[in-house]
Structure 1
């Protein structure tokens, strides 16, 4: 496998959404295509895909608000897991966020996703003493 990490291109949309669906990241209340359009409008350079030839095998979005960075929608195709690709994508996000002056990186993992929790623990992430709250401002339905 010869993987290249590059910024998202519009032609990647269907493959990225399919990857997110395969990885179990898509929820009925979030339209992934709308999320892609939103990301393209804000820090598009922090929307990355990993490609093996023409095939999208990894993807994720990051952002920085001046206080902390976030990573969302990080997914690696099952065929490419345990190859170091997830680690490589996270390292690329960390480097890009650090270049922006970002002092801390945060992410959220859904309850019960023990594989993701173990993955992030291996990368040095620890649980923050915080509760995640959310409020929907725009419905995607």
Structure 2
């Protein structure tokens, strides 16, 4: 699938270095999450929901989707700073939404880090709204 000059396709193992560099450029990596381990883990569960967007053969966007049988989830939506504001993130979201619908997914959830609330407007423009929930987490396997 393409959106203007963006080609969206499933992640390939040869994409690892470019994807991790993109995540770092976009400020998505954290010291407590090893991005290599995140990729390895994703490739064991629904790897077809791990998408990359390319322009002229260069990876400029990613989206890691998932479906647990109850809700869809979005992680690692990223577009390189040089390629933002071109609707690439919207194209990636629409692509994963189609895939999730094909799986029978009734709702998508995503989390926004408290330091990244500037993206709230973007997600609202796609039809997302704030749920009345409290997110709790517990790490079972430390990455570092």
Structure 1 length normalisation: TM-score?
0.97
RMSD of equivalent CA atoms: 0.9
Structure 1 residue matching 2:93: 3-state secondary structure? helix
**In the TM superposition, what are the counterparts of 1:116-131 in structure 2 within 5 Å?**
116-131=119-134
The 5 A counterparts of 1:24-43 are: 24-43=27-46
SS of 1:113 mapped into structure 2: helix
Q: Deviations over 1:29-83 (max 9, x none)?
A: 0000000000011000000000112210000100001000000010001111110
TM-score after normalising by structure 2 = 0.95
How many residue pairs align between the two structures?
141
Question: Structure 1: how far apart are the matches of 2:75 and 2:115?
Answer: 17
Residue in structure 2 matched with residue 15 of structure 1 by the alignment: 18
- Aligned partner of residue 96 in structure 1, secondary structure: helix
Q: Which residue of 1 aligns with 2:8?
A: 5
Secondary structure of the 2:127 match is coil
Q: Are 2:91 and 1:102 equivalent residues in the alignment?
A: no
Asked whether 1:71 is paired with 2:74, we answer yes
Match of 2:137 in 1: 134
Please list every run of 5 or more consecutive structure 1 residues that lacks an aligned counterpart in the other structure: none
Q: What CA distance in whole angstroms lies between the structure 2 residues aligned with 1:80 and 1:3?
A: 10
Structure 2: 5+ residue stretches without partners: none
